A and B are shown apart, each in its own frame.
Chain A
Amino acid sequence: MEEGNSIIYGLEHQTRALSPQYGENDAIRFLIGTQSLKPNTNQVHVVELEEDTGALHTKVFKHDIGEIWHLRCSPHDAATLMTVHNAYDHDTCQCAMGVSIFRLPTIEVIPKDLDDLSAMQNRNAEDMELLKTITPEKPEEEIRCAEWHPSDANRVGIVLDNCVSIRDTSTGAHVGGVAPGGRTRLKLTAGKWSPQGQSQFAVLQDTHIKCFDTRTDCSKPAWSIDSAHRQLARDMDFNPNRQFHLASAGDDAALNIWDYRHGKEAIFSRTDHSHWVWTVRYNTYHEQLLLTGSSDARALLTAAASVCDADDDARRLSQVLEDGVLQSYEQHEDSVYCAEWSAAEPWTFASLSYDARLVLSRVPRHFKYKILL
């Protein structure tokens, strides 16, 4: 993968789910879930980029339980993943959503010998081991997403359209929850564990961001950012290094960065996309770099160096790196709903568009040098 060249990987069905393999430290691996209403056609693709050769290797697993809306690899175990899926039941004429935890038979993707290679070239979908399926209390409830607890491997937070349910992965039992009240009963869009609080769970509710402590009765948010966006807020990400900072994206095409202790005004705001922004991600290693994906069919690499200026190292950085879009990635032709940094390598990221196209790209080398040197 040379400078400016991205690697494109195409799938057969529409896609909305992408996750880096969080538990993996060496290989650049991403998992993709497909979204098709046709029964027994959905798959989980494991894509590995061989760094030395730039070659792309894939492995396909069956996901017959339904179309995948959301996928998250476990941060505790590289082989474990969790999908939010939806299936249509022809008998009841109804859709049912659920959360399932799988284990991959192997995390190796690159073939070791010719046999392996030929098996892979057949692209026969393999089976995954289904560990647990968790269903919502009411079958018609819609699940927005499911998130692993950052430290407790047995806990997941499931965001439904009006509440958050904390479940135990082994038993599937409801061990806690968040039910943001309010007269309006605005629906939830997404949610995430707060990396600092351990028990804090932040949700996006319409245009607002609210964070609840799951140990309390959740009548009042621990903190909140009201009207973070002028339209619906779609996604958020916590700054991995800087406490209290988080980035959010929404239907007003804006990328905002907040210090949630002072939630009145964003400390950084840009409107570079020309349609709704569906995803925003901090680079785990270099918090100045943000990745956004939007339904204007673009992924943007944005620098927010000015808000990372507290310590001496970074002050130098803001002098060499100007705030704003570093690079626009235009290889997509449909809405980009997912964009993720690799968990193993700080300069590689993947973006996934609805038309089943995965684009693996790199931070342009001169920016990389600016940050490193």
Chain B
Amino acid sequence: MSESCKDNENPLDIDGSNFNSEMYLECLLKCATLRQVMDKEAEVVTQSQFLQSEMQTLVYENYNKFISATETVRKMRSDFQIMQEEMNKLSENINNITEFSSKISDNLKESGNNVNRLCSTRQLLDKLQFVFLLPTQLNKAIEENRYVDAVHDYTHAQRVLQKYGNQPSFQSIQTECSEIICDLKKTLRERLLTPDTSASELAESVGLLRQLQETDSSLQDIFLTCAENRLEQHLKNLCGIIENVDILEWVEKCNNTLLADLGIVISCYHDIFQDSENANLPEFADKITTQVFHLFEEVVKKPENIGTEILIRGLDKFFRKLQAMSEIISSDTVSNKAQDVVIQCIDHKATMQYQLIQTQFKENLMRVRQSLASKGSETVDLKDILNSLQIHLMQKVQASLLDLMAFLQNKLSFGLKPWCGKAVADACWTVISETLKNLSDMVKDMASMQTSNNIPFELLLILAKLCLEIQENGVTTLHSHLLKLLEESAPGLTVKDKDTNSVMVHLSTAAQAALDSEVVFIGQMAAQMLRVSVLARDWLRAPEPRGPRAVCRRVVETLASADTAASQLFPTSIKPSSDSSRRTIWSRAPSSFSPINRIFSERIEVFSPAGADRAALSNGALKVALKALVECVRLRTFSRHGLQQLQVDVHFLQQRLSCMGNDERLLNALLEDALASAQLRCVDPQLMEPSIVDIICERG
């Protein structure tokens, strides 16, 4: 078996499809024995016979089947004939049915049409009735103020009316309707224009008008003008109450009326004209807010509203409202402007502060001036005055800085904003620098107009010292004070590098101007006395000297009083022991007046800047006075007694003035010059004995 399986393709397999009978036979003949061949032959014969009979059975069977099929076919043929007949009958019947049904439908058609016509007529009649009733409906609705219904009805009917408007019967209705609608429009517009309609009514009216096919832009205009009118009314009211109410009340009122309405107007506008561009709105809002800001500025400037607390609270409320508004308006300008308003407030406050400080300082100064003028001959403690002026000024500035810090409180809506911090810091510095600059300018003014305006020289000294003190300490003190305050109220906030130098320069130039002015003032006062006394006297007919002339005492008194005043305020440099002051200046030969002497002495600058030092101030005044004496002596002609009188005068001056100033050489040089000039101008130049001069001076 396994062999046969293996040789499936074996051409020798008798049952295989590749069976080759020749080869099989050949192979069989070759390898099988005769017997085997004989057996094989018998086997093949039997097998062939079996196969023969099996084939016959099969043929029979098939034949039978064919016969029965033929019979069936025949039977079927006769059946189909019957069927055919029945089918024919059916189709005939169907045809009949169709015929009948079409007859029926023909009959029903007419009545159906009639029904349809009736229905449409009814609808039309309904509409017509609506249209005919429209005027009365409208009137009724309008009478009952149901404008919305009226407009709704009208818009429904409008199309019909437009379509059949040319028919005479509709024409009257249309005219009537349009008249009514015109009236309605008019009423609506009137309602828009009446100031006491509320903003929502306004919006409703505009919505209705819009449905009534008013063009958008004109509606926008109308809406905005109406809104503006109403807001104007508010503005007017607000403007009117500025005088009567304080800032809190004002802001309250403003928030509740004007700004609230503005908010409604703007949101309504957005609702109604969503699709259109918002071209007009920002402009409109700007216009209104600008006016509001102007009013607010006025309110802020009102003197009653200067209190910081109330101002800040008002400002805070206002700013909050504006912030909210800026969200509604959604334009940057409002919020920017709101910031500006706060900054302006701060600046305004600062300006008020330093102006106040200045006025107060001026008042103080006026008091000081009066007390100095009325003091007579008593001495006043200038140091006290200086201290009180300085402390007062510093305190005022510090107080106003503290006041400004209130703008930085946490609870305020703008308190912690960086821009606010910066504005406050700037404002604080402005207060400091402006105060000091004003001070400098005032001092400079006083120094320059001093000839016409009789300002006591003590005041000039005080002011000079004040300027110097503030320049040295005050500026830095205030600056660091400001930094400290800022650090406390808004940590992290720094003042940008402020220009302390320019302030200091201002102060020091002012101080210098005041000192120069004081020196020239004192010097000129003495110079004027000497000039008048020298020019008015007839030196040719002078009597023999009996003592120094009275004018010399007055000159000495003037210079001495200035010197004492200066000593109170300016450090006294230690004077070298003044033995040499007893030295008489004519110990040199009287003919010593020659250019040679001058070569060895320094040039004397008479009107030169004065140092901030008692001795320097006195020196300055001495120079001015004595140089004038020299120049005036040279314009006169002296007799012998005249010369001797001058000699006594000069000696007296030398004795009394040598304790002032620290430059004895200067004093001596000038006095020497005066005497030498007098000698030159003398027709009989004979001087007195120094000892006699001494005696006369002491006796006098």
Q: What is the chain A residue whose CB lies nearest that of B683?
A: A88
Known: A37-B682, A94-B540, A335-B631. A275 touches B637 (CB 8 A): no
Contact residue range for chain B? 20 to 34
Q: What is the chain A residue whose CB lies nearest that of B603?
A: A297
Let me know if A355 and B607 touch, CB within 8 A.
no
**Measured between alpha carbons, how far is A263 from B137 in the docked complex, in Å?**
91
Q: Which of B451, B604, B631 has the most CB of A within 10 A?
A: B631
Known: A37-B681, A231-B524. A274 touches B599 (CB 8 A): no
Partner of B607, one of A86, A93, A253, A354: A253
Partner of A37, one of B599, B627, B683: B683
> Which residues of chain B have C-beta atoms less than 8 A from A333's C-beta?
595, 598-599
Let me know if A95 and B540 touch, CB within 8 A.
yes
Q: Does B320 contact A (CB under 8 A)?
A: no
Let me know if A357 and B595 touch, CB within 8 A.
yes
* B665-699 vs A, Cβ < 8 Å mask (1 yes, 0 no): 00000000000000011110000000000000000
Partner of A274, one of B594, B595, B607: B607
Partner of B598, one of A88, A295, A334: A334
Task: Return B310 CB to nearest CB of chain A, in Å.
Answer: 48
Q: Does B512 contact A (CB under 8 A)?
A: no
Task: Return A286 CB to nearest CB of chain B, in Å.
Answer: 29
> Which residues of chain B have C-beta atoms less than 8 A from A335's C-beta?
631, 634
Let me know if A14 and B599 touch, CB within 8 A.
no
* A264-287 vs B, Cβ < 8 Å mask (1 yes, 0 no): 000000010111100000000000
* A82-98 vs B, Cβ < 8 Å mask (1 yes, 0 no): 00001010100111000
Let me know if B639 and A93 touch, CB within 8 A.
yes
Instruction: Report A172-193 residues with CB < 8 Å from chain B CB.
Output: none
Task: Return B630 CB to nearest CB of chain A, in Å.
Answer: 8
Known: A93-B639, A230-B451, A231-B524. A334 touches B595 (CB 8 A): yes
**Measured between alpha carbons, how far is A230 from B682 in the docked complex, in Å?**
31
Task: Return A13 CB to nearest CB of chain B, in Å.
Answer: 9
* B639-650 vs A, Cβ < 8 Å mask (1 yes, 0 no): 100000000000
Q: Does A296 contact B (CB under 8 A)?
A: yes
Q: Does B277 contact A (CB under 8 A)?
A: no
**Measured between alpha carbons, how far is A38 from B392 in the docked complex, in Å?**
66
Let me know if A275 and B603 touch, CB within 8 A.
no
Let me know if A93 and B599 touch, CB within 8 A.
no
**Measured between alpha carbons, how far is A94 from B595 in the docked complex, in Å?**
30
Q: What is the chain B residue whose CB lies nearest that of A95?
A: B637
> Which residues of chain B have C-beta atoms less than 8 A from A274's C-beta?
605-608
- Is chain B's binding surface mostly helix, strand, loop or mixed? loop
**Measured between alpha carbons, how far is A256 from B200 in the docked complex, in Å?**
76
Task: Return A204 CB to nearest CB of chain B, in Å.
Answer: 15
Q: What is the chain B residue whose CB lies nearest that of A38?
A: B683
> Which residues of chain A have C-beta atoms less than 8 A from B156's C-beta?
none
Task: Return B256 CB to nearest CB of chain A, in Å.
Answer: 58
**Measured between alpha carbons, how far is A334 from B631 in the docked complex, in Å?**
11
Q: Does B553 contact A (CB under 8 A)?
A: no
**Measured between alpha carbons, how far is A333 from B603 in the docked complex, in Å?**
8
**Measured between alpha carbons, how far is A45 from B252 in the docked complex, in Å?**
94
Q: Does B541 contact A (CB under 8 A)?
A: yes
Number of interface residues of A (CB under 8 A): 26
Let me know if A276 and B637 touch, CB within 8 A.
no
Let me know if A276 and B595 touch, CB within 8 A.
no
Known: A93-B541, A276-B631, A296-B606. A14 touches B680 (CB 8 A): yes
**Measured between alpha carbons, how far is A94 from B114 in the docked complex, in Å?**
157
Task: Return A62 CB to nearest CB of chain B, in Å.
Answer: 20
Let me know if A355 and B540 touch, CB within 8 A.
no
Let me know if B595 and A295 touch, CB within 8 A.
no
**Measured between alpha carbons, how far is A296 from B623 in the docked complex, in Å?**
12
**Measured between alpha carbons, how far is A273 from B605 in the docked complex, in Å?**
9
**Measured between alpha carbons, how far is A297 from B673 in the docked complex, in Å?**
14
**Measured between alpha carbons, how far is A274 from B608 in the docked complex, in Å?**
6
**Measured between alpha carbons, how far is A86 from B683 in the docked complex, in Å?**
12
Instruction: Report A23-56 residues with CB < 8 Å from chain B CB.
Output: 37
Q: What is the chain B residue whose CB lies nearest that of A295?
A: B631
> Which residues of chain A have C-beta atoms less than 8 A from B598's C-beta?
333-334, 355
Task: Return B140 CB to nearest CB of chain A, in Å.
Answer: 86
> Which residues of chain A have C-beta atoms less than 8 A from B605's C-beta?
274, 296
Task: Return A35 CB to nearest CB of chain B, in Å.
Answer: 9
Q: Which of A275, A354, A357 has the most CB of B within 10 A?
A: A275
* A283-327 vs B, Cβ < 8 Å mask (1 yes, 0 no): 000000000000111000000000000000000000000000000
**Measured between alpha carbons, how far is A275 from B540 in the docked complex, in Å?**
28
Let me know if B627 and A275 touch, CB within 8 A.
yes
* B134-163 vs A, Cβ < 8 Å mask (1 yes, 0 no): 000000000000000000000000000000
**Measured between alpha carbons, how far is A333 from B600 in the docked complex, in Å?**
10
**Measured between alpha carbons, how far is A230 from B680 in the docked complex, in Å?**
30
**Measured between alpha carbons, how far is A276 from B635 in the docked complex, in Å?**
14
Task: Return A143 CB to nearest CB of chain B, in Å.
Answer: 13
**Measured between alpha carbons, how far is A276 from B527 in the docked complex, in Å?**
12
* A67-104 vs B, Cβ < 8 Å mask (1 yes, 0 no): 00000000000000000001010100111000000000
Partner of B637, one of A37, A90, A354: A37
Let me know if B637 and A88 touch, CB within 8 A.
yes
Q: What is the chain A residue whose CB lies nearest that of B627?
A: A275
> Which residues of chain A have C-beta atoms less than 8 A from B680's C-beta?
14, 37
> Which residues of chain B have C-beta atoms less than 8 A from A253's C-beta?
607
Q: What is the chain A residue whose CB lies nearest that of B594?
A: A355
Let me know if A355 and B631 touch, CB within 8 A.
no
> Which residues of chain B have C-beta atoms less than 8 A from A88's C-beta?
540, 637, 683
Task: Return B554 CB to nearest CB of chain A, in Å.
Answer: 19
Task: Return A228 CB to nearest CB of chain B, in Å.
Answer: 14
> Which residues of chain A have C-beta atoms less than 8 A from B681's C-beta?
37
**Measured between alpha carbons, how far is A5 from B634 in the docked complex, in Å?**
30
**Measured between alpha carbons, how far is A73 from B218 in the docked complex, in Å?**
94
Task: Return A325 CB to nearest CB of chain B, in Å.
Answer: 15
> Which residues of chain B have C-beta atoms less than 8 A from A276's C-beta?
631
Q: What is the chain B residue whose CB lies nearest that of A355?
A: B595
Q: What is the chain B residue whose CB lies nearest that of A142?
A: B635
> Which residues of chain B have C-beta atoms less than 8 A from A94's C-beta?
540
Task: Return B673 CB to nearest CB of chain A, in Å.
Answer: 9
> Which residues of chain A have C-beta atoms less than 8 A from B631's C-beta?
276, 295, 335
* B34-71 vs A, Cβ < 8 Å mask (1 yes, 0 no): 00000000000000000000000000000000000000
* B462-501 vs A, Cβ < 8 Å mask (1 yes, 0 no): 0000000000000000000000000000000000000000
Let me know if B607 and A275 touch, CB within 8 A.
yes
**Measured between alpha carbons, how far is A14 from B676 in the docked complex, in Å?**
12
> Which residues of chain A have C-beta atoms less than 8 A from B594's C-beta?
355
Q: What is the chain A residue whose CB lies nearest that of B599?
A: A333
> Which residues of chain A have C-beta atoms less than 8 A from B451's C-beta?
230
**Measured between alpha carbons, how far is A291 from B607 in the docked complex, in Å?**
20
Q: What is the chain A residue whose CB lies nearest that of B636?
A: A95
Q: What is the chain B residue whose CB lies nearest that of A36?
A: B680
Let me know if A295 and B603 touch, CB within 8 A.
no
Let me know if A86 and B637 touch, CB within 8 A.
yes
**Measured between alpha carbons, how far is A230 from B607 in the docked complex, in Å?**
14
Q: What is the chain A residue whose CB lies nearest that of B450?
A: A230
**Measured between alpha carbons, how far is A275 from B606 in the docked complex, in Å?**
6
Let me know if A354 and B634 touch, CB within 8 A.
yes
**Measured between alpha carbons, how far is A334 from B634 in the docked complex, in Å?**
12
**Measured between alpha carbons, how far is A276 from B540 in the docked complex, in Å?**
26
Task: Return A84 CB to nearest CB of chain B, in Å.
Answer: 13
Task: Return B542 CB to nearest CB of chain A, in Å.
Answer: 11
> Which residues of chain A have C-beta atoms less than 8 A from B604's C-beta?
296
**Measured between alpha carbons, how far is A94 from B605 in the docked complex, in Å?**
36
| Given A296-B603, A354-B634, 5 further pairs, Cβ under 8 A | A88-B683, A276-B631, A296-B606, A334-B595, A355-B595
Sample (7) of A-B pairs whose CB atoms are under 8 Å apart: A37-B683, A88-B637, A88-B683, A274-B605, A275-B606, A296-B606, A333-B595
A-B residue pairs, 9 tightest by C-beta? A333-B598, A275-B606, A274-B605, A88-B683, A274-B607, A355-B595, A37-B683, A333-B595, A274-B606
Report A's interface with B, CB cutoff 8 A. Answer: 14, 37, 86, 88, 90, 93-95, 230-231, 253, 271, 273-276, 295-297, 330, 333-335, 354-355, 357
